[in-house]
Amino acid sequence: METYPRTKGTLVKSTMVKASANSNVLVLILAVGVFGILNTEMGVVGIVPEVARTYGVSVADASLLVSGFALVVAIAAPIMPLLFSKMNRKAVMLLTLGIFTICNGAAAFAPSFEAMLTLRVVPAAFHPLYTSMALAIASQMGTPEASAKASSRVFVGVSAGMVLGAPVSSALASVFSLFASMMFFALVTLVVFIATLFLVPSMPVRDPLSYGKQLAILKKPLLWASLISVVVLNGAMFGFYGFLADYLEAGLLLVPAAVSAMLLAYGGANIVGNLAAGKLLANTPVKTARFIPLALLAAFGVLFATASLAIAGCVLLVIIGILAGIANNVNQFLVATAAPEAPDFANGLYLTAANLGVTLFTPVLGALISQGGALFSVSGVLVLLACAFFLIAWRQCLNKTT
């Protein structure tokens, strides 16, 4: 008997969701696919110096491969999912993975820095298309419990791409070459492309919403309250994460090897948090959304109070990593449940809000570091988390009255 992932306005028919085992295969493919997409985005962080040396450009110019990619993602996030919302899901997956594979492979042979930058911009536009679609499919996996668990597993791919991409690409570049790093990006998406081609059935969209009906969600105060909450909460988490290496080195005075180990430990803790979020959001979604900024506020408060105590700081950062993994899922949950009738467009807006938070608040935390040192950035995070708590409370009040 076929089951159908449902939302109010969209029906995706998939023979893949005939049984839980097949559903797990689909979620695994989506998670690895998201890993490949995020790996392409964040993995370049680990090879910026190598790119600068190879193409004879400054490190600042080479970093455009990261910032330029993120800017295109932020712009494309609300547009691409809307434009492709009526297209067969499998076709969207294959199109996106094919573009990433071709562009990553071609970038390995790029004759100039300008050519490599161009080959980064093109797939960046399709990043939010695949990610928002993966989250939309996961959120339609049967019961609320099943959809929460599926979404958390997709977020494991997000976390893995963000925390493993940079060290893996850096290691490949140092041991082998820049070519090997770029081909690694292409290989991951190629593997997922082949798996999608043979293991994922056709997933046509039944009863697709018109563009007008999808855009109509922008009239919902609950959606805007959710998006603002995401901007602030994500800005707090990832604004701090952007300076985490500096915090470990200059704040906790760790040696380089210990810094690398802690970055991996933080990433591993983030993945644990993603897995835990599936059960928490399935069983107690309202309490989890309300609790997470308070828990982060408490953890960062103790981190600020313990100042430069290295062991205490490392333990707290592992706890913060777990809480941040849960918070990632909470952010997406807030937006998705505010506009379930247009999941693709809503998830695109979520990605824009998440990137906007990082763009707005990372410079703020950087300015605090410049004024008071690495430890002082925590004070900025505490203010943002306090704001996030009240914003989520406001959002939940709106949810009761609408």
CATH code of the domain in which 81 resides: 1.20.1250.20
Q: Does 301 share its domain with 242?
A: yes
pLDDT at 398 over 50: yes
Determine the average pLDDT of the residues in 259-275: 83
- Residue 133 structural domain: 11-206
pLDDT at 139 over 80: no
Determine the average pLDDT of the residues in 80-107: 90
Buried b (16+ CB within 10 A) or exposed e, 63-82: bbbbeebbebbbebbbebbb
Determine the average pLDDT of the residues in 271-289: 86
Domain boundary among 206, 240, 274: 206
In a domain, residue 6? The reply is no
Quote the pLDDT of residue 169: 75
pLDDT at 237 over 50: yes
In a domain, residue 4? The reply is no
Quote the pLDDT of residue 16: 37
Quote the pLDDT of residue 334: 93
Q: Does 115 share its domain with 128?
A: yes
Q: Give the span between the Cα atoms of 267 and 165, in whole angstroms.
A: 11
Q: Does 88 share its domain with 120?
A: yes
Quote the pLDDT of residue 379: 86
> Quick one: pLDDT band at residue 13, thresholds 50, 70, 90?
very low
Q: Does 199 share its domain with 226?
A: no
Q: Does 276 share its domain with 391?
A: yes
| 223 to 44, 101, 285, 338, 378: CA distances (angstroms) | 33, 34, 17, 5, 29
Determine the average pLDDT of the residues in 214-223: 92
Q: Which residue has the higher pLDDT, 227 or 285?
A: 227
Domain boundary among 191, 206, 221: 206
Sequential DSSP letters for 87-122? S-HHHHHHHHHHHHHHHHHHHTT-SSHHHHHHHHHH
Q: Considering the chain, what is the average pLDDT of its residues?
A: 82
Q: Does 198 share its domain with 233?
A: no
Number of domains in the chain: 2
Please identify which residue in the block is written with the tokens 């313990």.
Answer: 306
Q: Does 268 share its domain with 354?
A: yes
Q: Does 149 share its domain with 217?
A: no
pLDDT at 402 over 60: no
Quote the pLDDT of residue 245: 72
Q: Does 251 share its domain with 184?
A: no
Both structure tokens of 123: 């797939």
Q: Does 196 share its domain with 289?
A: no
Determine the average pLDDT of the residues in 184-208: 87
In a domain, residue 298? The reply is yes
Q: Does 201 share its domain with 218?
A: no
Quote the pLDDT of residue 176: 85
% the chain with pLDDT above 70: 92
> Quick one: pLDDT band at residue 387, thresholds 50, 70, 90?
very high
Determine the average pLDDT of the residues in 191-196: 93
Quote the pLDDT of residue 24: 80
